[in-house]
Chain A
Amino acid sequence: MTDHTTIRKAVLDDFDAVIELDLEGIMEDKPTYWQDIFDRYVKTGRDDGYFLVAEISGEVVGFIVGEVRAWEFGSPPCGWVFALSVSPKSREKGIGQLMMKEMCQRLKQAGVTTVRTMVDRENKLTLSFFRSQGLRTGRYIELEKAIV
Chain B
Amino acid sequence: MKIQKSSLFALYAVLELASDPERQLSATDIAGKYGISTHHLAKILRTLVRSKLVQAVRGAGGGYRFTGIINRTTLLDVIELFETLEDESDAPSPKGQFAGAVIEELQSITREIDDLTKAVLDTITLETALNSSRLRASFTT
Interface residue ranges, A against B (CB under 8 Å): 121, 124, 127-128, 131-132, 134, 137
Contact = CB atoms under 8 A, between A and B. Distances in A.
Chain B residues touching A, majority SS: helix
Contacts, number: 23
Interface residues of B, number: 14
A127 B127 contact: no
A137 B128 contact: no
A131 B124 contact: yes
A127 B128 CA distance: 12
21 contacts: A121-B115, A121-B116, A121-B119, A124-B122, A124-B123, A127-B119, A127-B123, A128-B74, A128-B123, A128-B124, A128-B125, A128-B128, A131-B123, A131-B124, A131-B128, A132-B127, A132-B128, A132-B131, A134-B132, A134-B135, A137-B120
A68 to B, nearest CB: 26
Interface of B: 74, 115-116, 119-120, 122-125, 127-128, 131-132, 135
A128 B115 CA distance: 16
Given A128-B74, A132-B128, A137-B120, 19 more contacts: A121-B115, A121-B116, A121-B119, A124-B122, A124-B123, A127-B119, A127-B123, A128-B123, A128-B124, A128-B128, A131-B123, A131-B124, A131-B125, A131-B128, A132-B125, A132-B127, A132-B131, A134-B132, A134-B135
